[in-house]
Structure 1
Amino acid sequence: MELKSENDIVKSIETDAWMMDILKAASQLNLPDWWICAGFIRSKIWDALHGFDERSPIEDIDVIYFNEIEMDEEVEKSYQQKLLEILPNIPWSVKNQARMHIVNDIKPYTCSIDAISKFPETATAIGVKLDSNYQVVLTAPHGVTDVINLHVKPTNLFLENEKLHAVYRERVIRKNWTSTWKEIKINF
């Protein structure tokens, strides 16, 4: 399957039973403003563009949500535990974006899509969820051009802030994506 647009990405996810099972599990929690984001989608795209027959290993499945009322980290852990009960062999990671701005010492996010827009790389700033009819919904605040063209570059937040740009550079080196996906181009 060729991946040239948001619609192509959505179709590729809808035909992937493993990804749909994960999305259905996350939807069972009924979290406010929830998305599964980052490597879950990026790796799917890069695997397809590299012609891989097997799925590349994924470090974790990032489930995010936004709830300003209940920001206790223990609540996130309880959601993570519920997901492990539904699909025990998945490396779940659940984070409330209403508190995650603290990690980067920036202004609070206004919603989950705002948080996604402030992820380190444009290729990772992408999320999917299921709507009430179990249709895949995709958000890509920076578009999908970079991820489809195998470009890794910082989002504006991580480009314009010297401290965060250093975090971006360290992260890209640590992730070592080029060892798996040889054709990606990294912009430092």
Structure 2
Amino acid sequence: MTGRLPLDEQLVALKSTLSRNETLLEVLDRAASLDLPGWYLTAGCLFQTVWNVVTDRLPGAGIKDYDVFYFDDRDLSWEAEDAVIQAARAAFSRLPAEVEVRNEARVHLWYEQKFGVPCTPHTSTEAAIDSFAATTCCLGVRLERGGRWRVYAPHGLSDVFNLVVRPNPVPAPREVYEAKAARWQRHWPELTVLDWPAGR
């Protein structure tokens, strides 16, 4: 079982598994060409590709979009972010998937209005990834010079490969976690969804 391998072998397995999703590889390659500060391809497209491969589904099955995060706190205006979004729209044109590009330095400006709870300003793209509702989702990948993969996985990869969804109660509201977990479990019934910790 991949989730029980040493971490270096899990990293090799992660690259091999994600490489089976051709759309994901194309997004990685095109995102690298944008040269965005601190960028990562992150969220569902990564862990859901792993779930698909582990459960013998098509690698891209059930993936609704591909999220590219970057961090640029030099200009927090919507106009600056929108300029990047428009450049990305051109870069990702004619892909068979939606690609969403967001500046994580700006999230605190709109998060409470959208989700009803305040968000402490992120200090990096990694900090934004740390805030996902499930620790299983805290995963980012980017291409660096020479085509080397940089992987950010603060909670490791075992849960991802073992199909375990684990809550991340410090930053995320319980209802967000439970709604996401229920949606994922409908598509991937093999998942083991762990309960929100009592008293949180």
* TM-score bracket, shorter-length normalisation: 0.7 to 0.9
Corresponding position of 1:171: 180
Match of 1:32 among 18, 33, 37: 37
How much has 1:71 moved relative to structure 2?
1.8
Corresponding position of 1:116: 129
**1:142 partnered with 2:147:** no
Q: Any unmatched runs of 5+ in structure 1?
A: none
Corresponding position of 1:6: 11
Work out whether residues 117 and 142 of structure 1, in 8 Å CA contact, stay in contact via their aligned partners in 2: no
Tell me whether 62-71 or 6-15 shows the greater mean CA deviation: 6-15
The one-letter amino acid of 2:145's match is: S
CA RMSD of aligned residues (A): 2.1
The 1:105–1:84 alpha-carbon spacing in structure 2 relative to 1, beyond 3 Å, is same
Match of 1:152 among 152, 157, 165: 165
Tell me whether 38-47 or 87-96 shows the greater mean CA deviation: 87-96
The one-letter amino acid of 1:135's match is: R
Q: TM-score, normalised by structure 1?
A: 0.85
Work out whether residues 2 and 158 of structure 2, in 8 Å CA contact, stay in contact via their aligned partners in 1: no
CA distance in 2, matches of 1:91, 1:44: 15
Work out whether residues 3 and 45 of structure 1, in 8 Å CA contact, stay in contact via their aligned partners in 2: no
Q: Any unmatched runs of 5+ in structure 2?
A: 4-9, 112-116, 196-200
The 1:75–1:61 alpha-carbon spacing in structure 2 relative to 1, beyond 3 Å, is farther
Match of 2:60 among 47, 55, 77: 55
Corresponding position of 2:86: 81
Q: TM-score, normalised by structure 2?
A: 0.81
The one-letter amino acid of 1:185's match is: T
The one-letter amino acid of 1:149's match is: N
How much has 1:14 moved relative to structure 2?
4.1
How much has 1:3 moved relative to structure 2?
4.2
Secondary structure in 2 aligned to 1:107? coil
CA distance in 2, matches of 1:53, 1:112: 29
**1:186 partnered with 2:199:** no
Matched residue count: 181
Work out whether residues 3 and 49 of structure 1, in 8 Å CA contact, stay in contact via their aligned partners in 2: no
The one-letter amino acid of 1:68's match is: D
Work out whether residues 70 and 104 of structure 2, in 8 Å CA contact, stay in contact via their aligned partners in 1: yes
Tell me whether 150-159 or 130-139 shows the greater mean CA deviation: 150-159
Work out whether residues 158 and 165 of structure 1, in 8 Å CA contact, stay in contact via their aligned partners in 2: no
Work out whether residues 125 and 142 of structure 1, in 8 Å CA contact, stay in contact via their aligned partners in 2: yes
